[in-house]
Amino acid sequence: MANSAYHKIRTVRAPAPRGCPVDHAFSPFAPEYVANPYAVLAKHRDGSPIFYCEQLGYLVITRMKDVAAVFTNPDVFSSENVQDPVLPICDAAAEVLSAADYDPIAVMSNRPRPDHTRIRKYTQAGFSGRRIRALTPYVRERCETLVEGMLESGAPVEFVANIGHPLPGETIFRLLGFPRDDDAQIQEWTTNRLAFTWGNATEDEQVEIARKMLAYWRYCVSFVQHRHQVPADDFTSELLAAHDADPADLSYKEVESVVYGLSFAGHEIVSNFLGNALICLLSRRENWEAICTDPTLIPNALEEVLRFNSPQTSWRRVAARDTQIGGFKVPAGTQIFLSLGAANHDGDLYENPETFDIRRKNARTHISFGRGIHFCLGNRLALLEARITLETLVERVPSLRLVEGQALDYFPNFTFRGPKELWLQW
Ligand code: HEM
């Protein structure tokens, strides 16, 4: 498994570009970064905006203009490395994923052009206005039921486990067409996958996650097979119809791999987004009261959450050939850490970047969904889920507040950021 298209292990590490500042202490796994990446990043962005992270062997880029330039030049800065484990995977977990039938292939974020363009034409259809509109009543009804359950159980309630995690998971399962009866099992298999690739999971955790990944892949394979025989009105059937119409343009394995990959892309990150949104809004009471009085402020407030406290604080690229960034000569093979978090707080673009402002005019120019050919496919779905969650909460529980004195804790993660737990009362 060590070098499957899904989890390639990179053993060669490019040196720091000549003349580039080298930071021996910087690490996205360091406790002070995990607690507050923005304070750590600000020092770099305003001092050495491009530097080499010695501990992990990445060139770190912090200014918006440089991050955007890398995103929009995909032939020079390849996305091939975005699903590779940041830290080596232990042998026992690798052994689990070496099962002969574990064979998903790169289909979206880590698939280069021209194949990416070919496949994205089909995957984009799954997130069309029609499909999103069709999902909307489900998201609203499910959100209302979950909030009702929260109210019935009585304060305090832990938000992540009770609403933040199940809502996005079940939404993506409905889009794909998985039966509702399977939700609990699939949720169990898909939990903690971000820790496998971008976290620093222990060996035991890696093995447990790997076992679940294998079980979930097998589920996807048999679900796709079933849908091929019994199509329904869902995205999986749509992909299979496209495959049947032109098997050379969209292969069966690509359909299986898209189904497998989507829960990965659209599940825990939205859960983190919802948690971060509540932290931003409830810890600044005047903002919560403003959206309670005028819910039309919610869409821009959510863009500001994505700018100010994004669930995705970085993404990666690898130089496909010798190139230059910010005046430094960057050799082919250099891995690049694009700091979305630093770019989103860039004072060249944002007035008072460290202020959370739900009325900020240019909040939407954040780079949390990336830019260019791999721009987040699920952005509208994520925003829909978050808007409905906030609309439901402000209507049903305007007195909602954070349980006072709780210490917010975050999983150490190279890329993704959201509270482990978030306790609410009303
Ligand atoms: C707030 C939530 C989300 C954030 C911040 C986010 C962020 C991102 C980012 C930064 C990228 C990479 C862009 C690049 O490489 O240039 C991306 C790609 C992607 N996202 Fe999201 N995402 C979110 C939610 C979702 C959801 C809900 C789904 C699906 C259900 C999804 C599906 C994808 C897919 C499939 C790609 C790869 C697209 C491609 O390569 O063409 N994302 N996302």
Cα–Cα distance between 412 and 198 in angstroms, integer?
9
Out of 5-19, 44-58, 327-341, 412-426, least confident range: 5-19
Report the largest interatomic distance among the alpha carbons of the chain, rounded to a whole angstrom: 61
Element (H, E) at 323: strand 323-325
> Which tokens is 378 given?
């699920």
Return the pLDDT at 11.
Answer: 65
What are the pLDDT digits (tens) for 380-389? 999 999 999 9
Tell me how far apart the alpha carbons of residues 277 and 271 are, in angstroms, rounded to a whole number: 10
**Which pair of structure tokens corresponds to residue 369?**
């969904």
Residue 244 pLDDT: 98
Instruction: Report the predicted TM-score, pTM, of the whole model to 2 decimal places.
Output: 0.96
Cα 197 to Cα 4: distance, rounded to the nearest angstrom: 13
Mutate to test the pocket of ligand 1, among 302, 377, 387 (most ligand atoms within 8 A of CB): 377
The CATH code belonging to domain 22-425 is 1.10.630.10
For residue 104, what are the contacts with CB-CB under 8 A and spacing of at least 6? 4, 5, 6, 217, 256, 257, 260, 261
pLDDT on residue 2? 44
pLDDT digits (tens, 9 = 90+) for 149-203: 999 999 999 999 999 999 999 999 999 999 999 999 999 998 888 888 899 999 9
What is the 369 CA–ligand 1 centroid distance (Å)? 6
Q: Peptide bond before 37: cis, by omega within 30 degrees of 0?
A: no
Task: Name the CA radius of gyration of the chain, rounded.
Answer: 21
Whether ligand 1 lies within 6 angstroms of the CB of 258 is answered as no
DSSP at 363:
G
Spatial distance between the Cα atoms of 24 and 206, rounded to a whole number of angstroms = 27
Mean residue pLDDT of the chain comes to: 94
Beta bridge partners of 312: 416
Q: Which of 81, 234, 376 to mutate to test the pocket of ligand 1 (most atoms within 8 A of CB)?
A: 376
Ligand 1 neighbour 389 (Cβ under 6 A): no
Give 110's Cβ-side CA count (13 Å radius). 21
Residue 358 pLDDT exceeds 80: yes
Strand ranges (E), 157-289? 157-158
- 311 touches ligand 1 (CB under 6 Å): yes
- Exposure on the CB side of residue 257, measured as CA atoms within 13 A: 20
Give CA 279 to chain center in angstroms.
18
Q: How far is the CA of 405 from the centre of ligand 1 (A)?
A: 33
Share above pLDDT 70 across residues of the chain, in percent, rounded to a whole number = 97
Mean pLDDT of 343-370: 97
Instruction: Decide if 54 contacts 24 (C-beta within 8 A).
Output: yes
Using 50, 70 and 90 to split pLDDT, how confident is the model at 264? confident
User: Using a 6 Å cutoff on CB, does residue 49 contact ligand 1?
Assistant: no
Would the CB of 71 count as within 6 Å of ligand 1?
yes
Q: Is any atom of ligand 1 closer than 6 Å to the C-beta of 265? A: yes
Using 50, 70 and 90 to split pLDDT, how confident is the model at 7? low
Q: 265 CA distance to ligand 1 centroid (A)?
A: 6
Q: What is the pLDDT of residue 426?
A: 98
Is residue 22 within 8 Å of residue 51, measured between CB atoms? yes
Q: Is residue 8 pLDDT above 80, yes or no?
A: no
> Residue 194 CA to chain centroid, in angstroms?
8
Please report, rounded to a whole number, the percentage of residues in the chain having pLDDT higher than 90: 88
Q: Is 382 in the pocket of ligand 1 (CB under 6 A)?
A: yes
Helix (H, G, I), strand (E, B) or coil at 330: strand
**Mean pLDDT in residue range 224-245:** 97
Pairwise CA distance, residues 138 & 425, whole Å: 26
Q: Can you give the pLDDT at residue 263?
A: 86
Question: Which is the closest atom of ligand 1 to the Cα of 82?
Answer: 15
Is the C-beta atom of 368 inside 6 A of ligand 1?
yes
Query: Cα(281)–Cα(279) distance, rounded to whole angstroms?
Result: 6
Domains of the chain, residue spans: 22-425
Q: What atom in ligand 1 is closest to the CA of residue 108?
A: 40
pLDDT at 305: 98
